[in-house]
A and B are shown apart, each in its own frame.
Chain A
Amino acid sequence: MTDVPPVLKLTEISRTFGKIKAVDSVSLEIRKGEVIGLTGENGAGKTTLLKILSGIERPDEGRMEINGQVANFRRPTDALKAGIGIVHQEQSLFTNLTVAENIEHQNIDRSGLGRFGIQNWGRINRSAQEVLDKIGVRLDPRARVGDLSFVDRQMVEIARAVSVDPDMAGTPLVILDEPTAVLEQAEVDVLEREIRKLREFASVIFVSHRLDEVLRICDRVLVMRHGALTSDRSTEGVTKDELFRAMVDETPRLSKRDRAAPPQPGPAAIAVSGLTREGKYRDVSFSVRPGEIVALVGTNGSGRGSLARTLFGAETSDSGTIEVAGTRVGGWTIPRAVAAGLAYVPAERKVEGMIGGYPGTRNIALAHPEAARSGPFLRHAKMARIAQDWFDRLGVSPNDIRQPLGQFSGGNQQKVVLAKWLNNPDLKVLILDHPLRGLDVGVSQAVNREIRAACDTGTAVVLIPDTIEEALEMADEILVLKDGEVTARHDMRTADGLAVQEIVAEMI
């Protein structure tokens, strides 16, 4: 048995982006038929590691061996040919094609399924049926993928992942990237059954934030932190607590918060009650007073992003109420929210946060042109003065208010996005979705400083932080969301010594 080479063997694999070691000297072995759990906080390096395995990124250092042979992927198809199939969290199927076409499209050129560009439908359907039978899924190869349920589509993705070179001597490796994040419980059960069948002929890497599932499904669990592998052990006998400790830094118990400004009296700046959006979040209630920071923590599937967008009028809710400054709002839209003094810094900065083709002047004037308008006209000199003030204050580099914002680095773009909203003397509620995403330490500090400065002048802040540490550093109150429901609340003004591990336990 031992002379069968491992399906996957990594030796000191590293990948660096700028100054950040996204993957730091990772070594591991996966044997035939093993199901491996891979877990870790956001930004721990899981995604980069998966990209290396699937040929999207190339490692700077280290050695990768697949079924005993050194692998040197130059492009994603190399990984597919080597038998590594990846099922992405956001699905990558052609929804307008049939199940069979999706499963076989990468093989059509090579396995005699088509000739001279003409496809042999009978053989394609038969071949797809064989793959479906092998993984034990009952699906019609002729069905259109767009008509299938989400979990069935995931089965098609799995089938596609294992369809490559079925008569290859080695063992295929199937990587499932957070497959359960968007599934209902019944669908999760189906998926678990599938994974157990898969192990008969393939090895599986199962990436998930949900430790219960990892412990139930997997033989071994790997934990990553800051790009490095911090734990690699059998799921037998391991406790969730041990895994938490491997996932998060040994943080000192929380020090006294440096922001002491007490919340201001009067009604809450924004309050929600019983807010529900089907499939996203359920029965969420909380309020934020002027000068207060409330952080929403949770995993990607927790519904907190959708909740933030609902507050800003970008998504609708199915039931529940939103009150702004004591008044219940209805027909809530973005222009109304902005007129009421709300602001939203989106996670998708380049797409939603800014107009890349516009310079700083126009980006800043876009949301609140009233500061620089007279009648229908914009006063260009005033716009330039406002933009220059913000560029100087936030240290935007290059200090050029007329250069298109798309040409700036991410951190400097984020400063301008923030300036767009802070350039409003009547700012009441600042909603921040991953405001520090992709920013280095210096820019992060500048952004956090501006958030606190806004609080000091009476702005209420709803923060979706990247990390729990960020929440502990910034928030007056922390709301923990799990699968769309608030599972815990911590008032940071009274809670003493709340640890990251406790919050992680409530999230998962």
Chain B
Amino acid sequence: MTDRADPSARAAAPAPEDRAGRLPGGLRRAASWHVLAPPLVFFAILLVVSVANPAYLGPFGVSIATASAAPILLVALGQAMVLNIGSIDLSNAAIALFGTILFALTIPATGLAAIVIVLAVVTLIGAFNGAVLAYTQVPSFALTLGTFGILQTASLVLSGSETIYVSENRELVTALYATRAFGIPLTFWIGVAAAIAYWTMLRFTVAGQNMTAVGKNESGAIFSAVPIRRVKIAVFALSGFTSGLAVLAIVAQAGSASASGLGSALLLPGIAAALVGGTSISGGQANPINVIFGALTVAFVPIAAQALGFGAQAQSLVYGFFIIVVVTLTTTRARGIVIK
């Protein structure tokens, strides 16, 4: 015991063929339930609908479903990144709403530059959230609830409580919606691209590793020299930026913006999509790729309810039950019994 442990440790280390034999173990980890559940759930619904009412699944059906999923997906991606660090962003849908009005007001005069302006403004609003959180340690729930209220009023004031129709340079933005690849509008593909980018970031970058570390154990991250404040500001800025992408999807689809129009009710579907996508609400667990399926599922449930013959009044009921069941199925319980 007094000499170095290396010889015994080496002897205990598995021989190469043992290590090869353990590969299935690695695969098993990758293929665990919380990774597979979100796509499985989505395809299960798809299967049920295609059996019950095949008419809903034509090319037109796919197009409608993905188009309505696009803004939810984008908002949900930002939310998943925030949930991943153990916070929540209740203001992200309000940021998107504010962005749509700003976008509709600026695009006639500035054209494509409006996209840059809007993305910069909403990213800054997100960064502001993050900075207040990092420096005052106000709970993110309370802080972003406040930002949510402020931005709703700002949207009303900025729009003069009226619907702003994009007339000049309209085609610049509606092209995002009108252009399809595989029958799916570009707005949805933007979401897919963002999901892949965020997934790559979480998995393969130092910044992503730091983010998840903060979500899994903030004290541990602090004592491992993770720059907590920078992480929080960056993640909330990212949430703002992703809401900015949702702005493009919304205005492209509606051709207009208003404080009560498309985009005013994105907060809860966005959270639902993140959770259905397997994101842990207590932090440290997020898979942006699966959030795609979460958003598709959330967007698809009303369609499925209709296809299965539920009346319009029953749709909220179906939706409510469904979310509970799906989150029960997709939530990972690896963290133990304490779930916030």
Structural contact, B13 and A378, CB atoms closer than 8 A = no
Whether A344 contacts B205 by the Cβ 8 Å rule is: no
Q: For B206, what are the chain A residues with a Cβ–Cβ distance below 8 Å?
A: 369, 373, 376-378
B328 within 8 A of A: no
Name A420's contact: one of B8, B204, B224 (CB within 8 Å). Answer: B224
Could you give, for residues 302-345 of chain A, a 1 whenever the CB lies within 8 Å of some chain B CB and a 0 otherwise? 00000000000010000000000000000000110111000010
Is B222 an interface residue, CB under 8 A from the partner? yes
Query: Does A153 belong to the interface (CB within 8 Å)?
Result: no
Asked if A353 and B227 make an inter-chain contact with CB atoms under 8 angstroms apart, the answer reads no
Please state if A334 and B225 are interface contacts (CB–CB under 8 Å): yes
A365-B209, A376-B205, A378-B206 known; A397 and B26 CB under 8 Å? no
Q: Identify which of residues 118-166 in chain A touch chain B, using a CB-to-CB cut-off of 8 Å.
A: none
- B74 is an interface residue with CB less than 8 A from chain A: no
| Inter-chain contact B209/A442, CB cutoff 8 Å | no
B9 near A393 with CB under 8 A, answer yes
**Separation of A420 and B221 alpha carbons in the complex (Å):** 12
A313 to chain B, nearest CB (A): 9
Cβ-based interface call for B181 (8 A): no
Indicate whether A380 sits within 8 Å of B217 (C-beta atoms), given known contacts A366-B224, A395-B8, A445-B2: no
- The contact string, 1 if C-beta is below 8 Å from chain A, for chain B 207-249, is 1011011001101111111110000000000000000000000
Q: Smallest Cβ distance from B7 to chain A, in angstroms?
A: 10
| A237 vs chain B, min Cβ distance (A) | 45
Q: Is the beta-carbon distance between A395 and B223 smaller than 8 angstroms?
A: no
Q: Is A352's CB within 8 Å of the partner chain B? A: yes
The prevalent SS among residues of A at the interface is: helix
Contact, CB under 8 Å: A352 / B6: no
Q: Which A-chain residue is minimally distant from B222 (CB atoms)?
A: A334
A392 to B14, CA, bound (A): 10
A427 to chain B, nearest CB (A): 13
Q: How large is the interface on B (under 10, 10 to 19, 20 to 34, 35 or more residues)?
A: 35 or more
Whether A346 is near chain B, meaning CB under 8 Å from some CB there, is: yes
Contact A346 B223, beta carbon cutoff 8 Å: yes
Q: Does B340 contact A (CB under 8 A)?
A: no
Whether the Cβ atoms of B1 and A442 lie closer than 8 Å is yes
Asked whether, in the complex, the Cβ of B1 is within 8 Å of the Cβ of A351, the reply is no
Given A338-B225, A393-B9, A394-B9, A377 and B204 contact (CB-CB distance below 8 Å): yes
- Whether A356 lies near B217 (C-beta < 8 A) is yes
B205 touches A378 (CB 8 A): yes
Contact with B along A348-376 (1 / 0, CB 8 A): 10011111111000110111010001001
Known: A352-B219, A395-B5, A402-B26. A335 touches B225 (CB 8 A): yes
Contact (Cβ within 8 A) B284 A357: yes
Contact yes or no, B220 A344, CB < 8 A:
no
The yes or no answer to A446 lying at the interface (CB within 8 A) is yes
- Residue in B26, B205, B213, B217 whose beta carbon sits within 8 Å of that of A377 in the complex: B205
Which residues of A are found within 8 Å of B180, using beta-carbon distances?
Answer: none
A354 and B219 CA atoms in complex are apart in Å by 9
Within B56-99, the residues touching A (CB, 8 Å) are none
Whether B205 lies near A366 (C-beta < 8 A) is no
Tell me whether A392 and B6 are in contact in the complex, defined as CB-CB below 8 angstroms, given that A357-B335, A377-B205 are known contacts: yes
Inter-subunit contact A351/B217 (CB<8 Å)? yes
Complex alpha-carbon distance, A142 and B207, angstroms: 51
Q: Does A300 contact B (CB under 8 A)?
A: no
Chain B, Cβ-Cβ closest to A404: B334
Q: How far is the CA of A352 from the CA of B227 in the complex (A)?
A: 15
Residues from chain B with a CB closer than 8 A to the CB of A409 are none
- Whether the pair B226, A399 counts as a contact (CB closer than 8 A) is no
Distance A19 CA – B14 CA, assembled complex (angstroms): 29
Considering only CB atoms, which chain A residue lies closest to B14 in the complex? A399
What A residues does B1 contact at CB under 8 A?
442, 445
Assembly CA distance A363 to B225 (angstroms)? 12
Is A449 an interface residue, CB under 8 A from the partner? yes
Does chain A have a CB within 8 A of B312? no
Asked if A351 and B9 sit within 8 Å, CB to CB, the answer is no
User: How far in angstroms is the closest Cβ of chain B from A373?
Assistant: 6
Known contacts A395-B5, A399-B12; is-contact A367 B225 (Cβ 8 Å): yes
Note all chain A residues with C-beta closer than 8 A to B6: 392-393
**Which A residues are in CB contact (< 8 Å) with B13?**
392, 399
| Residues of chain B with a CB closer than 8 A to A399's CB | 9, 12-14
Contacts A355-B213, A356-B216; is A394 near B223 (CB within 8 Å)? no
Q: Which of B7-23 contact A (CB under 8 A)?
A: 8-10, 12-14
**Residues in chain B near residue A365, CB distance under 8 A:** 209
B12 touches A367 (CB 8 A): no
Report how far A397 CA is from B9 CA in the complex, Å.
9
Choose one: B10, B12, B209, B284; the contact of A366 (CB below 8 Å).
B209
CB atoms of A446 and B5 under 8 A apart: yes
Closest partner residue, chain A, to B336 (CB atom): A406
Pair B223/A314 contact, Cβ less than 8 Å: yes
Q: Is the CB of A355 within 8 A of B10?
A: no
Q: Please measure, in the bound complex, the distance between the C-alpha atom of A395 and the C-alpha atom of B217, giving whole angstroms.
A: 26
**Distance between A226 CB and nearest chain B CB, rounded to angstroms:** 21
Residues in A with CB closer than 8 Å to B227 are: 335
Q: A393-B6, A397-B12 are in contact. Are A352 and B220 (CB under 8 A)?
A: yes
A258 to B159, CA, bound (A): 79
* Cβ-neighbour of A357 out of B12, B210, B216 (below 8 A): B216
A394 touches B220 (CB 8 A): no
A351 contacts which of B5, B204, B220 (Cβ < 8 Å)?
A: B220
A358 near B205 with CB under 8 A, answer no
A445 to chain B, nearest CB (A): 6
B213, A366: Cβ atoms under 8 Å?
Answer: yes
Min CB gap B125→A, angstroms: 24
A358: chain B residues at CB < 8 Å are 212-213, 216
Q: Which residues of A lie under 8 Å from residue B8 when comparing CB positions?
A: 395
CA of A376 to CA of B203, assembled, Å:
12
The complex places the Cα of A419 from the Cα of B190 at a distance, in Å, of: 41
**Bound complex: CA of A399 vs CA of B5, how far in Å?**
14
Neighbouring B residues of A380 by C-beta, 8 Å: 204
Residue on A nearest B215 in the bound complex, by CB: A357
User: A: which residues have CB within 8 A of B?
Assistant: 314, 334-335, 337-339, 344, 346, 348, 351-358, 362-363, 365-367, 369, 373, 376-378, 380, 392-395, 397, 399, 402, 404, 420, 442, 445-446, 449
7 new A-B contacts at CB < 8 Å, known A314-B223, A352-B220, A356-B216? A314-B222, A335-B226, A355-B216, A369-B206, A395-B12, A399-B9, A446-B5
Pick 29 A–B contacts, CB within 8 A, sort by A. Answer: A314-B222, A334-B222, A334-B225, A335-B225, A337-B225, A348-B219, A351-B217, A351-B219, A353-B220, A353-B223, A355-B220, A355-B221, A357-B216, A357-B217, A357-B284, A357-B285, A362-B209, A366-B209, A366-B221, A366-B225, A369-B206, A378-B205, A393-B9, A394-B9, A399-B12, A402-B26, A404-B334, A442-B1, A449-B4
B residues in contact (CB < 8 Å) with A: 1-2, 4-6, 8-10, 12-14, 26, 29, 204-207, 209-210, 212-213, 216-217, 219-227, 284-285, 334-335
The list of the 3 closest CB pairs from A to B, nearest first, reads: A338-B225, A395-B9, A357-B216
